[in-house]
Structure 1
Amino acid sequence: MTMPAYSADLLERAAKIKLIGFDVDGTLTDGRLLYGTDGHEAKSFQVLDGLGFTLLRHAGIETALVTARISEVVERRGRELQVKHIHTHERSKLACMQRIAAGMGIGMDQVAFVGDDLPDLATMRHVGLAIATANAHHWVLPAAHWVTPRRGGEGAGRDACDLLLYAQGHVEGILAHGEHP
């Protein structure tokens, strides 16, 4: 099996992570907002990301969805993926991630966050592992410890999940199992 080229520092950071938070729009979606004439919102999520969330859950790594938007679609997707921490209409993503970490009894050095734009920047600056998507705004990139190879909505979430799974030694077991849990 060929392992992606991760730096030693990146693997060291990723090995400590117990909680990973994800922005939604532009990170787990392509960032487009689709509204029906009835006012309902639609989003497109990548199935690769969903399996990554499942693999993390089975590896004992908690996930969080944190978005400033009020979104029934995000809540539904989070429930489908059995995400414990689904936070919509969140004014401060940093404060939200700090509350979750405190509730888990872990430090912010054990938290990762995946984002793509300015509302994610404060959080990215305060976590042990800051990840930006390939399509992240250039103002956010300097805060990232790593940039995913794929864009938001195209598998960037799975890239982040895979990094943690590699760093924490779960890949061999996943591959030996031959199918997802």
Structure 2
Amino acid sequence: MPYSHLNDYPADIRERASRVRLACFDVDGTLTDGRLTFDSEGRELKSFHVHDGLGLVMLRKVGITVALVTARASAVAERRAAELGIQAFTAVSDKLACVRSLAETHAVSLDEVAFMGDDLPDLKVMPHVGLSIAPANAHRWVSERVHWRSARAGGDGAVREACDLLLAAQGHAERLLAEALPTGVQA
């Protein structure tokens, strides 16, 4: 059975997603709910949704380069990226320059880049990439200026929705689902 949700996406979004070879994600407000929590020792705490992590791993599995690009210095984000086998760029003052450098390093045009973010530091990147995405709870100034918005909020599966879009548009969703099912069960 073909991936049934692919037609839920507008044709222009499917086309943009089909070209993506580099997917970059903001952290706070995108991979997390945007809250900054510190313990009594001043150590930063963050909660990540496990669905988002698996989505990022699946992107890697199909050959899409994945990177976290965040303006905050964050050992927690660096650790999560290491667990997922992806790169993290933290304390980034110019996200567009970072994304351009990543694209150049991986021989990818900006038209083949997806970027997901939720607030003002992400806006500089959005008009330059092939697919800009915001979580459902992104600041209005951002959500009004992206190609596509997830139905879920940052930190609550929004990144997985973006990953699923990319996987479906590039024809990988059915195979990944079939690989996950027990032998003899059809997708």
Q: TM-score range by the shorter chain?
A: over 0.9
Q: Aligned equivalents of 1:73 and 1:122: distance in 2?
A: 24
Larger radius of gyration: 2
SS state at 2:33 partner: coil
1:31 maps to 2:34: yes
Q: How far did residue 143 of structure 1 move?
A: 1.7
Amino acid at match of 1:54: V
| TM-score (ref. length: structure 2) | 0.93
Q: Aligned equivalents of 1:19 and 1:173: distance in 2?
A: 21
TM alignment of 1:135-174, pairs within 5 A: 135-174=137-176
Q: Which residue of 2 aligns with 1:121?
A: 123
1:95 maps to 2:97: yes
| TM-score (ref. length: structure 1) | 0.96
One of 70, 74, 80 as aligned partner of 1:67: 70
Amino acid at match of 1:77: R
Q: How far did residue 88 of structure 1 move?
A: 0.3
SS state at 1:152 partner: coil
Q: Aligned equivalents of 1:141 and 1:154: distance in 2?
A: 17
In structure 2, runs of 5+ residues without a counterpart are 182-187
Q: Which residue of 1 aligns with 2:18?
A: 15
CA displacement, residues 126-157 of structure 1 (integer Å, 9 cap, x when unaligned) = 10000011001111122210000100000001
Amino acid at match of 1:135: N
Q: Which residue of 1 aligns with 2:53?
A: 50
TM alignment of 1:1-12, pairs within 5 A: 1-4=3-6, 5-12=8-15
Amino acid at match of 1:50: G
Q: Which residue of 2 aligns with 1:82?
A: 85
1:110 maps to 2:112: yes
Q: Which residue of 2 aligns with 1:175?
A: 177
CA displacement, residues 20-61 of structure 1 (integer Å, 9 cap, x when unaligned) = 100000000000011111110000000000000111111100
Q: Aligned equivalents of 2:170 and 2:101: distance in 1?
A: 24
The percentage of aligned residue pairs carrying the same residue is 54
1:131 maps to 2:122: no
Amino acid at match of 2:99: M
> Which runs of at least 4 in structure 1 moved beyond 4 Å after TM superposition?
none
SS state at 1:44 partner: coil
Q: How far did residue 110 of structure 1 move?
A: 0.3
Amino acid at match of 1:34: T
Q: What's the Cα RMSD here?
A: 0.9
